Amino acid sequence: MSDLRPVVALAGGVGGAKLIHGLAMAGIERLSAIVNTGDDFEHLGLHIAPDVDTVLYTLAGIANRQQGWGLEGESWSFMDQLEKVGAPVWFRLGDRDLATHVLRTERLRAGERLTGITRVLSRRLGAPADILPMSDEPVRTMVNTISGEVAFQDYFVRLRCDIEVKGFRFAGIERARPTPEVAAALRQGDLRAIVICPSNPLVSIAPILSLPGMRELVVGSRAPIVAVSPIIGGRAVKGPAAKMMLELGQTPSVIAIAETYAGLVDGLVIDHLDAGAAAEIEGLGIAAHVTGTLMGNDDDRRRLGMECLEFADQLKGAGREP
């Protein structure tokens, strides 16, 4: 039987999308996903929102699972032609994927909000959650590298993360705000849990939590807050999270994740491989739940989603200072 209480998840792309899919499959009908937009950028005149689209395509069941971005069964005529006419091809846009970007860009230019456009796309593609961009105002993650500052997609895709990072800046964050829809989701009185997905804490979750007013909304909800570690056995499952942590002088581990979220989360879900760190995490005032956290297939996603909520239910009443 499905639980009628709402759940809110905070997410970036790949790791976040998988757990949100798991929560949806666990029967959460009132599920809102607050998604990072710090990765968004303008490319070839189009507004690209990589994390929103990864969540959208994953929930709609049309994501390319091997690749970790884009659509399954994609074709590439547009890219082939772009190359022939000498346009930049470092950022791959599939033919069908293009429809999302063209529609989004057209509607943004007509004055619509990213939130409204995302809802239209979600409904049309059949995503079983309310996908909420963290803000309608532009926030752009900038990566400070040893060779100077570059925009996030330049770092991530063009440079393939192959340059040492020194820090991050979320350009525009002072002027951006959580959307009214994000605030409403977090203010639901019967909220069962807030789940911080196993997304990159530095460039997926940090932009969300850095929005003015966002932390207050999260903590003020009084729902239990549970995070899932994106680091398993000292490594990231995918992407540069562990490499970034090392370059910033942190040891990539579940302890570092616990330290990052200390003072915010009530509980942290860690992998069996990291069971030995549970006591130290508890020492930071965070309850630890040890389970399999690698989401290799749909069953893993559903089970982890379910376990996050059962864990959150146990933490209920742990009580936070308002």
Instruction: Name the residues that contact ligand GDP, by CB under 6 A.
Output: 11-16, 18, 51, 54, 198-200, 204, 228-230, 232, 236-239, 241, 293-295
Give strand pairing partners of 228.
Answer: 269
Min separation Cβ 294 and ligand GDP, Å: 5
Task: Assign 3-class secondary structure to 196-249.
Answer: ECCCCHHHHHHHHHHCCCHHHHHHHCCCCEEEECCEECCEECCCCHHHHHHHCC
Min separation Cβ 223 and ligand GDP, Å: 21
Min separation Cβ 105 and ligand GDP, Å: 21
Bridging pattern class, strands 31-35 and 130-133: parallel
Q: Which is nearer to ligand GDP, 82 or 294 (CB)?
A: 294
Q: Which is nearer to ligand GDP, 43 or 222 (CB)?
A: 43
Spatial CA neighbour of 132 closest among 239, 208, 29: 208
Min separation Cβ 150 and ligand GDP, Å: 16
Q: Which is nearer to ligand GDP, 144 or 291 (CB)?
A: 291
Length of the chain counted residue by residue: 322
Q: Which is nearer to ligand GDP, 112 or 247 (CB)?
A: 247
Min separation Cβ 81 and ligand GDP, Å: 27
Sheet holding 140-145, edge to edge: 148-151, 140-145, 165-171
Give 306's contacts (C-beta < 8 A, 6+ positions apart). Answer: 22, 26
Q: Which is nearer to ligand GDP, 69 or 81 (CB)?
A: 69
Find tokens 């000498």 and name the residue: 86
Min separation Cβ 273 and ligand GDP, Å: 10
Other beta carbons within 10 angstroms of residue 285's beta carbon come to 12
Min separation Cβ 304 and ligand GDP, Å: 8
Q: Which is nearer to ligand GDP, 198 or 224 (CB)?
A: 198
Cα–Cα separations (whole angstroms), residue 91 to 14, 82, 153, 244, 245? 17, 11, 8, 22, 25
Q: Which is nearer to ligand GDP, 272 or 316 (CB)?
A: 272
Counting runs of H as helices and runs of E as strands, what totals does the chain give?
A: 13, 14
